[in-house]
Structure 1
Amino acid sequence: MQKINVIAFGGLGGAVFSAGLKTILMRLQRVEGVDYCAYEDYASWRRWTQTLRGWRDPTVMIGHSFGVTAALAVARSLRDAGGGPRLPLLVAFDPSKWWWCNPSLMASGGNAVPDTIKNVVNFYQASGPIGRQKLYRENGSQAGIDNRLIAGTMHSRIEDRRDLQDATVIAVRLVIDSLKQAA
């Protein structure tokens, strides 16, 4: 059976404000079909682009805030380099619209979803100065993108919600199931 890898990119202050991603990864490590899980800071996206160029197993990416922009930058860079694993899913937790003012993300290409990512689940909230962003493909469409408005949450806590963590684990399990069926 083919296994998948999962890479999660935290946002600014990720050890505190993106801690829910680590909880998701701990849960995914116990899922049959998940081979490798890693948590990284959003600023490491260039290094992960280099690392993933040599990978062949499908890789799911998860991001919170600036970490969403980092995951999209990795996908875009892999496409432009012509290598790397299949990217069947991105789970996004409240992408930040302020990526452009962060020196680590200025060359990232922003929050447009490249065609190398097959499906996206985007949990976003509508209040506060950070986040609040739907995702779209580079061509402006929402094909394969499920933007879900989440009421009653804050940007810094959205990935801590148990219901959204459960939805993330389910989405990853569906990727694994689709790979089993395709084999």
Structure 2
Amino acid sequence: MQKQAHSGSRSRQVARFVEWMSPCGKFVLASVGDELLMCDWADGWHHGTIMSRFERLLPLSFESGTSPVIERALAELRAYFKGERKAFDLPLRYVGTEFQRAVWSALERVPYGELVRYGDIAEAIGRPKAARAVGAAVGQNPFSIIVPCHRVIGRDGTLVGYGGGYDAKRRLLALEMGVPESELPFESGAQLHAASRLAK
């Protein structure tokens, strides 16, 4: 992660950030005050877009360094990868449009080890015809793993793009389903059970 160059007279809050190597790849975790701002793949395809959104919507200066909420997030992530944690309990600072925030909130409600489709999320937020827009918002999720966009699959039951890459997505789903990656039911056109509704 590169520190952002800033201009203008707006008073800026300091966002602390650290890099962390998970079993699936490198993450950047950032916080503002006592809230987590980001847990994103350092080399993910959407990382630059997320950083641009922060620059546009928040007066922030990013500085290397940890914080209590970052350390708490790291502890919970380590427990997740050990199979000891199935849900996260962290104060999250959502930075995005009203629609994006609604999508991310719906993602938070997808249970551990279960799968949904973009249409399921669209139904959950009361926008049943907005599956394509939901897909774009899922791709802008700044809290990978913590807000589980890896549990979203395509309409035909196949894997779809993921910020951490397909290998990382397969590894996360295998962890949650308790099976070897070789036994994941993700063949082209495979029919997978996906929840049709999410708790509102």
* Bucket of the pairwise TM-score, normalised by the shorter protein: under 0.3
Task: Give the number of the structure whose residues are more often strand, by fraction.
Answer: 1
The TM-score normalised by the length of structure 2 is 0.23
Q: Who wins on radius of gyration, i.e. which is larger?
A: 2
